[in-house]
Structure 1
């Protein structure tokens, strides 16, 4: 059984969800230590004969289709 006095809750979310750019930048700055940047990845060229069409599952296509355009 857990003693509720021992539980610690850390909330990093801003109190105002519409905090604006300053709040977003602050959130990102607090997350930086949790992100690990991979070593530089060099993409190898792919033969055009190996490039085919993109297949999207119907549910994903409906989800994207239902999204509003950028800037709405």
Structure 2
């Protein structure tokens, strides 16, 4: 197993609040690239055929009270 060491310029606050999280995100913004916006086009109803759910996933959801009841 490899021990990966991460060096952070700011101390990590695992018990932080929303303000701390927003500060962390603001520091990361320069490292993120946002994709260019593209105009979405409507999809023809004839192209929408529903959703395929594997039987194992269907059984799992059926067993969950939030979804199966």
TM range (shorter): 0.5 to 0.7
Q: How does 1:13-24 map to 2 (within 5 A)?
A: 14-24=11-21
Report the equivalent of 2:30. 33
**TM-score between both structures, scaled by the size of structure 1:** 0.55
Gaps of 5+ in 1: 1-7
1:56 offset after TM fit, Å? Answer: 4.3
Report the equivalent of 1:11. 8
Runs of 4 or more, structure 1, over 4 Å off, are: 56-65
Higher relative contact order, structure no. (Cα contacts within 8 Å, ≥ 6 residues apart): 1
Question: Closer, same or farther in 2 for the Cα pair 1:17/1:9, shift >3 Å?
Answer: closer
Aligned pair count reads 59
Gaps of 5+ in 2: none
Q: Secondary structure of the residue that 1:19 maps to in structure 2?
A: coil
